[in-house]
Amino acid sequence: MDNEKKTEGEVIQEVQNSTDFSSSNRDEQPTGANFNETNTPKKGSSFSIGTFLLGVVVGAVVSTCVFGVAIAMVRNTPSTVTIMTNSKSEKSSASTKNSDNSAEDTETGDDEEEQYDSVVNEETMAKLQLLEETIDSYYIDSDSVTTKTLQDGMYEGMLDSLGDVYSVYYTEEELADFMEDTNGVYYGIGAYISTDEATGLPIIAGVFDGSPAQEAGLKEGDICYKVDGEITESMALDEFVSKVKGEENTTVVLTIIREGESDYLDIEVERRQIDAPTVKYEMKEGNIGYIQITEFDSVTSDQFTEALVTLKEQGMKGLVLDLRSNPGGNLDTVVEIANQLLPKGTVVYTVDKDGNRVDYDCDGKNEFELPMVVLVNGYSASASEILAGAIKDYDKGILVGTTTFGKGIVQRIIPFSDGTAVKLTVSKYYTPNGVNIHGTGIDPDVEIEYDAEAAKEGVDNQLEKALELVGEEIDG
């Protein structure tokens, strides 16, 4: 992401442990046994067939007991999970009811086979041991391979085999990064950081108003030559970002190259809690309010409320809601925002593999009564499609732009007690009118392609059309 803006990172949100999951690291080297090999007594050693048979029996009994206990631990542990739509958790207080197309129990007979046999069996374990020994014996960089690397690779491979790009395995570190990306609150300096095309060094691409970065004197265009005395020349952007973020009330020193300055500038910046801006707003000509939501994080609902209240106080007569290139986010958040716009009714509902339906409703107490246009494009996905779809179904606004991305499925984060987790696709979601948009997206009421050439001259033709339509609604 050389030219893509990104913040320094957000604070990790604690995830509730739900399922026992333990793995022991092997300190011993492989024994050298081959797949399907039969071990025989060493030449010259004393061998008793009675002792051998007794050992086999005892070993079988012990193995069966241990395996039974392990299975019981997994199956009897409650699985409290959080439901995700593209990023974060759904509200747990959502009403539940059976769907009209819910699955019914049917008698299929005792001879019906399972959908698949468990892959955790003796044959698989032997094959894994063979693969491990082969890597250890022949792989040129086997000395650099750790037990954890191989373990994580196995877990990731199992999720990859599902063929679902949204179902993934997270290591502890990856889960922390995921939660940071979806929270919207973090400890950092409050700046966008990108990569300078000319030098390849990190560059300050923007600073948040009232942020520690702004207070310390950092400016857009500052090139970061060092971070805490370490040269950034060969440093990946993610590595640089990880060094900039840190614990609250600590400091980081950035050595800056600034145009017009004859020498380096050492700027010390305090790390503080930052609310990442996900909502931008302003009043356009004709008292038409404009609100852009870039993603749905946990902080977005409050930011949207502030924007809506401010614009109303300024005499807003109509609204353009910009959801273009919004990848989605927190379903809880999008429902809260919908509650400030829609009449009483269902905002969205989900249906899982067993036909169980979950409804997310709006109370209608804050229904938006002014003309509204919603801007969408092919990168408006997931949670942004939920909001756009509900507005369209309730006829509360006109959709302008191009067909949306088409992500109509829901993911659930299932955390394990060792700090890892999996994200699985667990249900489909439907607009209030019962439409699942997965793979098709939502068509706008007024289709208009974005004019990139006009944009070079500072003209947003889609926004201009939206403002025009709102103005006509106001005048009409």
For residues 156 and 149, what is the distance between their CA atoms, to the nearest angstrom?
Answer: 10
Between CA 270 and CA 277, with CA 275 as vertex, the angle to 5 degrees is 120
For residues 208 and 18, what is the distance between their CA atoms, to the nearest angstrom?
Answer: 37
Which residue type, as a one-letter code, is found at position 384? S
The one catalytic residue in 243, 396, 407, 423 is 407
Give the CA radius of gyration of the chain: 28
- Give the closest residue to 190 by CA, choosing from 172, 166, 207: 207
- Give the closest residue to 378 by CA, choosing from 432, 443, 426, 315: 443
The answer to whether 245 is a known catalytic residue is no
The answer to whether 445 is a known catalytic residue is no
Main-chain phi, psi angles of 97, to 5 degrees:
-160, 165
DSSP bridge pairs for 73:
none
Q: Are 422 and 379 in contact (CB under 8 A)?
A: no
DSSP 355-400: -EEEEEEE--TT---S-EEEEE-TT--THHHHHHHHHHHTT-SEEE
Handedness of CA 376, 378, 379, 385 (dihedral sign): positive
The one catalytic residue in 18, 301, 380, 382 is 382
DSSP 232-292: -TT--HHHHHHHH--STT-EEEEEEE-TT-SS-EEEEEE-EEEE---EEEEEETTTEEEEE
Residue 61: exposed, middle, or buried by beta-carbon count in 10 A (0-12, 13-18, 19+)? exposed
Return the half-sphere exposure (C-beta side, CA atoms, 13 A cut-off) of residue 182: 24
The answer to whether 6 is a known catalytic residue is no
Main-chain phi, psi angles of 315, to 5 degrees:
90, 30
Residue reference for tokens 């924007």: 307
Q: What is the 3-state secondary structure (H, E, C) of 396-437?
A: CCEEEECCCCCCCEEEEEEEECCCCEEEEEEEEEECCCCCCC
The one catalytic residue in 301, 380, 393, 465 is 393
List residues with catalytic annotation: 382, 393, 407
